[in-house]
Chain A
């Protein structure tokens, strides 16, 4: 089945440690996105990538890093520089069309990160 997967589902980390969240899609989508969701805050964009080997910062990129070495994969690293990393992290993907059109984003099941 085509879809977008994230792992792990739950992740615990000690303060000061870096941790990497996985996101894989087999939808042949060019664009991939990482969002953070906090209670009452909606979704906020961390990083996005429109094409392999290229990515851009979103609204809250500080303390995070990403890579896009393959079309299917867009891992997110939460570094020790992120001051408040406990949150629910969602990955999404979409096709890329012309500048004047837009297509829906498909979301993965999310990873809940808790920093102890």
Chain B
């Protein structure tokens, strides 16, 4: 059964801290893993990872995939209160065309 597991489920840090969010997955015929940020409404796309060991960066956010260990991390450095959100990890269902299976998300709260 395909599944995506995120940890921790919630995290509270202070501004300026660095955080690492984890995503482990078991999906057949792996093609890609996606990270989304959800504030109050629509999840917004952050990264899509297809190759192992290649870091993707966007400002203070970065993510990397380990295909051998079936694992991905999302790093946020120098956190700000605006980083407070739910971070979702997702992978396509094995054999499907475009359907995603989501983890339960990590709720990050950044205190001033």
Number of interface residues of A (CB under 8 A): 27
Decide if B100 touches A106 in the complex (CB within 8 Å): no
Check: A100 CB closer than 8 A to any chain B CB.
Answer: yes
Check: B43 CB closer than 8 A to any chain A CB.
Answer: yes
Check: B98 CB closer than 8 A to any chain A CB.
Answer: yes
Decide if B98 touches A50 in the complex (CB within 8 Å): yes
Check: A53 CB closer than 8 A to any chain B CB.
Answer: no
Number of interface residues of B (CB under 8 A): 24
Given contacts A48-B99, A100-B31, contact A108 B42 (CB under 8 A): yes
1/0 contact trace for B93-112 toward A, CB 8 Å? Answer: 00001111111110000000
Check: B32 CB closer than 8 A to any chain A CB.
Answer: yes
1/0 contact trace for A54-94 toward B, CB 8 Å? Answer: 00001000000000000000000000000000000010001
Distance in angstroms from B105 CB to nearest chain A CB is 5
Distance in angstroms from B92 CB to nearest chain A CB is 5
Decide if B31 touches A42 in the complex (CB within 8 Å): no
Decide if A45 touches B99 in the complex (CB within 8 Å): yes
Which residues of A come within 8 Å of B, CB atoms?
A: 31, 33, 35, 40-45, 48, 50, 58, 90, 94, 96, 99-110
Which residues of B come within 8 Å of A, CB atoms?
A: 6, 9, 31-32, 34, 36, 41-45, 48, 88, 90, 92, 97-105
* Pairs across A and B, CB under 8 Å, 20 listed: A40-B9, A41-B104, A42-B102, A43-B102, A48-B98, A50-B98, A58-B99, A90-B42, A94-B98, A96-B98, A99-B97, A101-B31, A102-B31, A102-B32, A104-B34, A104-B45, A104-B48, A105-B100, A107-B42, A110-B41
